[in-house]
Structure 1
Amino acid sequence: MKAIVKPAVRLQGEINALSSKNYTTRYLLIGALAEGTSLIYYPAHSDDSDAMRRCIRDLGAIIEEDDEKITITGFGSNPSDIKELNVGNAGAVLRFLMSVAAFSPEVTFVNTYPQSLGKRPHHDLIDALEQMGVTVKHNEGKLPITILGGQPRGGKITVSGNVSSQFLSSLLFMLPLLDEDSEIEVLHDLKSKVIVGQTLEVLEMAGIVVEASDDLMSYRIKGKQKYAPQKYVVQGDYPGSAAILAAAAVTHSDVKIFRLAEQSKQGERAVVDVLKAMGVNLTHENGIVHVLGNQQLKAGEFDGDHFTDAVLAMVAAAVFAEGTSRFYNVENLRYKECDRITDFVRELVKAGADVEETQSEIIVHGMPEGVAGGVDIDAHYDHRVIMALTVVGLRSKKGLVIHDAHHVAKSYPQYFRHLLALGAEIELVED
C-alpha cells in the first residue's frame, strides 16, 4: 500500500493514544511465564504484539480475548515442544523468545522478512545463551536461528549492550526460572537503559526479584523464582504518539492526545521536553498532551539514546526548525528494521530536507520555509520511517508518496486513520 500525503492546512481534534506496544509484549511474556492466569487490560494491537500473542500460544499459553482484555494462562518454564516459531518482523519478540526457547529441546525461528529482520544481528544474545550451555545454530548471527536447549544453566554470564538492550532484557526474563542463581555483567555499553527500566518494572510487578546496580551494568538474580499471575493495565504509547505530536508541532494545529501518563517509565516520554525545547506551545497535564502548533520551531541538541523509538519523529520536526539540530548517541538506530540513520537521511534528502549523518548522529539544517516534496519515498519496510516521513510530507509544498506504507501496522495500525481524523489529507492506495 502507498500513502499519498498532501500538505496540511490545519490539524485539529482529540485522539486517544494507542496502547503501548512495549508494555503489551512484556505483559504477554510474563503472563506466559507464570503458572496461572493473568489479565491484561487494554492491550496493543499491532504486528509486533500480535506476533507475541501468536508465538506464546504456539509455545503453550492459553489465550482468550475480548474487547477490553486478554486472559492468559501461562506455561511457566515448560513450553510446548514446538519445532518452529514465526515472529514476523518483530525483533524484540524474537530476542525475548530466543531465551525462552532454551527451555525447549529444539526450536527454529524462521526468516520471513529477509530484507528487514533477516538482516539484523543477534550475536550478543547467542553468545550469552552459549555461556549457559545452550547450543545455537545460526546464519552468521542472523535468521534462521535454531535453539537446541532443554537444560540451560545459570551462573555468571556476560552480554554486550552496545547494539541493543533487548539481549539483556531477554536474559532477565528467563534467568529467574533456572535452578541456579545467576549474575549478569553487561559489557561495553548499554543502549536504551530506559527500556531496561521497563523490563525491571514489569518483572517486579510479577513478583520477580532482580538486584540491579545503579548504572544497570550488573545484576544478581536468584534462581527457582516463579512469576505470579497478575492483573496488568497497559498505558498509552509514547513512541507512536511522538509522530502525531511532531505532525501537530510542524503545522498549524490544536491537537490533544489522551492516555499519556506524566510519570511513565517510557523513555520516549522525553519527546514532551524535546518539543518544548524546540519552542512548541505544549502542555502536559492529567495524562493529556495538548499542542497548539504555529509552524515556528527552533533547533536544539538532544541525546537520542533517551528516546530511541521517537528519534525519527523528532528529526522530522527539526527539519522545519530555525537553525541546526543535532541528535547524537543514536548509533543503535542502524540496527533496527532498517538502517534508521543512512536509509532515513537518504529519504529526507530526496524529499528536499538538508540533513547529514555521522556514525552516531543525525544533523538537521532546518528549513522553516518547508521542503519541496513531490517525490516518491521508499519506506524501507520500517514503521518508524513511515511515520516520520508522513510528518515531513504534511509540511512539504507538494506532498509525498510513501511506498510500503502498510508496514506502519507493525506498531501503529491506526496511524493514518488518526491523522485523517485530525484533518490530514492522506490517500491510501493499494499497489
Structure 2
Amino acid sequence: MPVVDIPGSKSVTARALFLAAAADGVTTLVRPLRSDDTEGFAEGLARLGYRVGRTPDTWQVDGRPQGPAVPEADVYCRDGATTARFLPTLAAAGHGTYRFDASPQMRRRPLLPLTRALRDLGVDLRHEEQEGHHPLTVTAAGVAGGEVTLDAGQSSQYLTALLLLGPLTREGLRVTVTDLVSVPYVEITIAMMRAFGVEVAREGNSFVVPPGGYRATTYAVEPDASTASYFFAAAAVTGGEVTVPGLGEGALQGDLGFVDVLRHMGADVTVGRDATTVRGTGELRGVTVNMRDISDTMPTLAAIAPFASGPVRIEDVANTRVKECDRLEACAENLRRLGVRVTTGPDWIEVQPAAADGPTGTEIKSYGDHRVVMSFAVTGLRVPGVSFDDPGCVRKTFPGFHEEFGALRTRL
C-alpha cells in the first residue's frame, strides 16, 4: 500500500507566515511548504524588515505587531496570490511607504474588491497602472478599523486578508460579505487565528474580529489537501491504493472533501484520525457535483472524468476562471486535445466518457498553471504519450512533484 508524504499546505503556510509576522514574539513553523510561492512570501516579509530564519524542517519568524521594520520597501510577489493579497494588507498596519509588484500572470489577477475595502478603511493605496491590479503602493499609517462591506465572490482570499488584519487595527473589524466563495478556506483562517490567540465571531454574513493582536506560538503545518487530490485520484483511476498521513478527521483544509467526490464515483475511501486512504475499485461512475467550496480540485476531477462510465458535470466554479489561468477553459481545451467531448458554460464544465479507442496522448498546454500540469499527470497514468509544454511550473507549490508522482506510478 503506497504511503505518500505530501508537502505542507500552501494555504496554511501563507496564513502562518502572516500570523507569525504579526504576532508578539517568535513563532516556529514546523514542516512549512517550501515552494516558489511560499519562498516568495518569506522573501517579501524579509523585504519588509521581518526576520525569517529557515532550516530544512522549520521556519522561525520574529513577529512585529507594530508592522514592518523598515520605512519603505519594494516587494516582488512573484506568482503568489496569497503573497500579492496578504502582504499589502499586512503592510497597511504599519507606518511607511511600500510598493508591491508581481509577475505578468499575477498582474492579470484581480485585487479590486480587497483594495476597495482597504480604502474604505482609510488606507492610502494607489494602483499604479490598471485599477484593481498590481503594481500598487501602500502609504501606511496604521488602520483604525471599524466596519466594511466586501464582495468575496471571486476569491475568499479577500476576506482572509481582512480577517488577518483585524487584530492589528486599533478598534477591531467587522466585515460584512455580500458574496463568498471557497468557504472552507475562510474556516482555515479562523481556526489558525484561534491558534494564535484571536477568536473571530460570525454573525450572519458578518465576521467580527477584536483588536489586541496575536501571540506567538509553535505551529505545525499540515500536508496540502489540494496536492493530495492528485494522488488520491491516481488510486481511483488505476485500481490502486494510496494513503496520505497527516490528513484525517481533524484536517483544516476543505479540499480533503475531494475524497467524498471519489467515494460517490465508486472509490473506497477511509478517513481516519490522522490519515486518509483511497482505494480504486475498478469502477468510476459519472457524477454531477457542486465544487464551489473545493474549486482548486476541479481540474483534478476534470482530468479523470473521461474514465468514468457516465458524464461528469462540475458546477458553480466560475471563480476558477480567475486563477493562475482560466482553469475551466484550460481543462476543456486539454481534454479536447485528448479526444474527449467537453462542453462548458459560465460556471460549469461537463465531460463525456472517453470513446473506446481514447483518450489519445498529446502535449498538455499548461498555461503556466501548476494545477493543470499536476491534474493531467493523473490522466497520463491511463493514457500513454501525455507530455507537458511547461512541466516545471509545478515549482509554484510542489517542486518535487514529477519525481514523487513517477515513484507512485511505479508502485501502483
TM-score relative to the length of structure 2: 0.94
Higher relative contact order (CA 8 A, sep 6+): 1
Q: CA deviation at 1:253?
A: 2.0
Letter in 2 for 1:148: T
- Distance in 2 (CA, whole Å) between partners of 1:320 and 1:368 is 10
Q: 1:60 aligns with which of 46, 49, 52?
A: 49
Q: In the alignment, which residue of structure 1 is the partner of 2:238?
A: 251
- Distance in 2 (CA, whole Å) between partners of 1:316 and 1:303 is 16
**Conserved 8 A contact 2:302-2:331:** no
Q: In the alignment, which residue of structure 2 is the partner of 1:428?
A: none
- Distance in 2 (CA, whole Å) between partners of 1:276 and 1:369 is 24
Deviation track 1:215-255 (CA, whole Å, cap 9, x = no partner) reads 5x2022223x1210111111121100101111221124233
Give the direction of change, closer, same or farther, for the CA distance of 1:369–1:286 in structure 2 (3 Å limit): farther
Equivalence map 1:32-431=2 (5 Å): 32-79=21-68, 80-102=70-92, 103-111=94-102, 113-114=103-104, 116-138=105-127, 139-187=130-178, 189-213=179-203, 215=204, 217-223=205-211, 225-367=212-354, 369=356, 371-396=358-383, 398-424=384-410
1:13 and 2:10 are equivalent in the alignment: no
- Distance in 2 (CA, whole Å) between partners of 1:151 and 1:212 is 25
Letter in 2 for 1:201: A
**Quick one: percent identity of the two aligned structures?**
29
**SS of 2:107's equivalent?**
helix
**Conserved 8 A contact 2:86-2:161:** yes
Structure 2's unaligned 5+ residue stretches are: none
Deviation track 1:378-400 (CA, whole Å, cap 9, x = no partner) reads 1011111111111122222x321
- Distance in 2 (CA, whole Å) between partners of 1:287 and 1:367 is 36
**SS of 1:323's equivalent?**
coil
Letter in 2 for 1:83: A
Structure 1's unaligned 5+ residue stretches are: 1-11, 426-431
Letter in 2 for 1:50: E
**SS of 2:134's equivalent?**
strand
- Distance in 1 (CA, whole Å) between partners of 2:406 and 2:330 is 27
Alignment RMSD, CA only?
Answer: 1.8
Q: CA deviation at 1:294?
A: 4.8
Deviating 4+ runs (over 6 angstroms): none
Q: CA deviation at 1:14?
A: 2.2
Q: In the alignment, which residue of structure 2 is the partner of 1:3?
A: none
Letter in 1 for 2:83: V
Letter in 2 for 1:394: L
**Conserved 8 A contact 2:315-2:347:** yes
Letter in 2 for 1:84: D
Q: CA deviation at 1:77?
A: 2.6
